[in-house]
Amino acid sequence: MRVTAIVLLIINLNTASVQQLQSLPGIGPALARRIVDFREKNHGFKRVEELLAVPGISEKRWRAIRDKVEVTPVGGNQAGVSGPHSPPRRGGVDAPAKRERAGEYY
C-alpha cells in the first residue's frame, strides 16, 4: 500500500518573504521583490486581486496563484487565521461610550 501526502500551503501576501513568494508558480526573485515592494508602499494588501496591480502579474499568472495566496489584515489577527478583525463594541460600532437615561449616565 502506498500513501501519498499532499501538503497545500497558503501564502499570506502580507507576511510572506521574497523566498516564500518564489515558491508560487511563475514567481521568480524579481517578481517576488516587486510584490514585497508593492506591499510596503501600499501598507499591505487588502484583497488578493490587488496582485494585478503589481507590474508583471498578468491575469493568467494571477489565476495560477490566486488559490495559493490569501490576505489577512496587517497588524490584525496575530494567529494568522482569516476571519473578522475583532468583534464590534457592545451596542454596535457607533454606540456611545456612555448611555444617558433621564440625565444620568450608567
CA-based nearest residue to 24, from 57, 68, 80, 54 = 68
Give the integer Cα–Cα distance in Å for 27 and 37: 14
At 34-74, the pLDDT tens digits run 999 999 999 999 999 999 999 999 999 999 999 999 999 87
* All structural domains of the chain with their residue ranges: 8-75
The highest-level CATH class for domain 8-75 is mainly alpha
Q: Please report, rounded to a whole number, the percentage of residues in the chain having pLDDT higher than 70.
A: 63
Residues 51 and 16 sit within 8 Å (Cβ to Cβ): no
At 20-42, the pLDDT tens digits run 999 999 999 999 999 999 999 99
Report residue 6's pLDDT band, with 50, 70 and 90 as the boundaries.
low
- Strand-pair partners of 104: 101
Q: 0.75 cut: is pTM over it?
A: no
CB atoms within 10 A of CB 21: 22
Report residue 11's pLDDT band, with 50, 70 and 90 as the boundaries.
very high
At 76-93, the pLDDT tens digits run 544 333 333 333 434 444
Which pLDDT belongs to residue 57?
Answer: 96
